[in-house]
Structure 1
Amino acid sequence: MIPTAYGEKNADSEGPIVTEISKLGHSSIALEKDGRVLVIDPGNLSEHARVREAEAVIVSHKHPDHIVPEALEGSDAMVWGPQEVIDVLLDAGIDKARLTVVSPGDAFEVAGFAVTAFGDQHALVHPTMPPLQNNAYLVDEVLFHPGDSFTTAPDPASVTTLFTPIAAPWLKLAETIDFVKAHPTAVVVPIHDAILSESGIAITDGALQRFIAGRPYHRIGGSETMSV
């Protein structure tokens, strides 16, 4: 995994096709390959500029920290997500022709990336709260984004980059640790962290790294990309 400054091209331009990963804030990730951009979960705690560059957006679930209609302003990107997400966007006046419902088990290609949806439900917050639909997404068979869940990838050992939630009303750090350990060879990229202060991020990162000693742990900074 090679960290680079955002916008800097990979030096080995004639080597294998490289995917550049950038974090847009909270749980939102941009993936770029061959000049084509896919954005995951552009919500109200993330930056939206790269959505306007994207061919496609995939959304895990309807909570506003993962999708808001205004994230799509100025964008022609097509959007894939669970029915509950599509309903939110339709209610906001987003053109139906741009929207595709994705259910667990569906496999599709967007912006040059092969994507498969897994899981089914948002992690439990409290038994009195009705469950939400939540898709976890496996991208190009090696990049795994669980949305708001700890769904395990179908072949955990094949995952090379694990987008890992670290702070939320629905999780305990022990669950995050178990999620990481279930994917034994992946680089851990922390996400879902906008509710933490800088001190909280440092404490949480430190605790995780102690429990998963020896595993690569890469926090992507705001101006940085990670090449895979």
Structure 2
Amino acid sequence: MKVTKIGHCCLLIELETLTILTDPGAFSQEQNHITGINVVLITHEHGDHLHIESLKQVIKNNPDVQVYTNTATGKLLDGANIPYILLEGRDSISIQGTLIEACDAQHVEIFEDIGQVQNTGYFIADKLFYPGDAYANPEKPVEILTLPVAGPWARVADVIRYARDINPQRAFPVHDALLNEKGIGSQHKHCARELSAKGIDFISMSAGESHEF
């Protein structure tokens, strides 16, 4: 499995028979030029995870791509005449031999009901778990955790405790586009120190970087 962090929460996940793009949001643009994508997974409707014009460009460049998301996000796609397939709750599907499992969990509170939308995490190939904007637990062993490390709802202590609870073999940071270079360095440093103390390998990936898992 090769993972490229395009930016923020937009990831390109390349498996033997399938290439997956996650959350083509407004905080990255490189996804608009990629071909060879089979599947797009959208966790929720917030603009940093779903930018309609970006998604349209992805579909234009990949006419056979299938978009998977939840009911709430699907309503926005309906309004944009973008076809999609529901994958939410604890549903699962096998696509070209790759298992993708949904894991609905509440979006972490920003303040009271601000931004409280349906959020669906996705567990890919029994290996990588991407929770979206939630401290979701798939209730099964996780090899690779995509760890949201920053945002209006993400406190460092909660981020670290969440990763420790999941206890993956490895983790790498997402949801960090709101931080400047110094902020990213500080946040990653905290995570690396505290997770390594628990035997979790924290891989400090920046936008544009790739890693083979």
With the length of structure 2 as denominator, give the TM-score of the two structures.
0.89
Report what 1:85 is aligned to.
Answer: 73
Q: Secondary structure at the match of 1:212?
A: helix
Q: Secondary structure at the match of 1:144?
A: strand
- Residue-pair matches, total: 205
Offset from partner CA, 1:108-130 (integer Å, 9 cap, x none): 12354211011232111111436
Q: Secondary structure at the match of 2:105?
A: strand
Greater C-alpha radius of gyration: 1
Measured in 2, the distance between the counterparts of 1:107 and 1:101 equals 10
- On the 8 A contact 1:44/1:66 being kept in 2, the answer is yes
Measured in 2, the distance between the counterparts of 1:28 and 1:177 equals 21
- On the 8 A contact 2:7/2:208 being kept in 1, the answer is no
Q: Secondary structure at the match of 2:202?
A: coil
Aligned CA distance change for structure 1 residues 128 and 221 (closer, same or farther; 3 Å): closer
The equivalent position to 1:216 in structure 2, one of 198, 201, 204, is 201
| RMSD of Structure 2 on Structure 1 (CA) | 1.8
Measured in 2, the distance between the counterparts of 1:213 and 1:31 equals 24
- On the 8 A contact 1:39/1:51 being kept in 2, the answer is no
Q: Secondary structure at the match of 2:47?
A: coil
Measured in 1, the distance between the counterparts of 2:96 and 2:154 equals 32
Q: Aligned pair 1:102/2:112, yes or no?
A: no
Aligned CA distance change for structure 1 residues 128 and 87 (closer, same or farther; 3 Å): closer
Offset from partner CA, 1:70-123 (integer Å, 9 cap, x none): 2221232210101111111121222x3xx1112211001235421101123211
Q: Aligned pair 1:150/2:135, yes or no?
A: yes
Measured in 1, the distance between the counterparts of 2:87 and 2:202 equals 30
The equivalent position to 1:138 in structure 2, one of 118, 123, 143, is 123
Report how far residue 36 of structure 1 moved.
3.0
Q: Which runs of 4+ in 1 moved over 6 A?
A: none
Report what 2:43 is aligned to.
Answer: 60
Aligned CA distance change for structure 1 residues 193 and 61 (closer, same or farther; 3 Å): same
Offset from partner CA, 1:19-78 (integer Å, 9 cap, x none): 111111001111112253111111111231465421110110000111112222123221
Measured in 2, the distance between the counterparts of 1:152 and 1:89 equals 27
Structure 1 residues 160-199: aligned runs within 5 Å:
160-199=143-182
Q: Secondary structure at the match of 1:162?
A: strand
Report how far residue 219 of structure 1 moved.
2.2
- On the 8 A contact 1:37/1:54 being kept in 2, the answer is yes
Report what 1:10 is aligned to.
Answer: none
Query: What is the letter of the counterpart of residue 177 of structure 2?
Result: A
Measured in 2, the distance between the counterparts of 1:179 and 1:27 equals 17
Measured in 2, the distance between the counterparts of 1:83 and 1:128 equals 19
Measured in 2, the distance between the counterparts of 1:226 and 1:130 equals 32
Q: Secondary structure at the match of 1:108?
A: strand
Q: Which structure 2 residue ranges, 5 or more long, are not aligned?
A: none
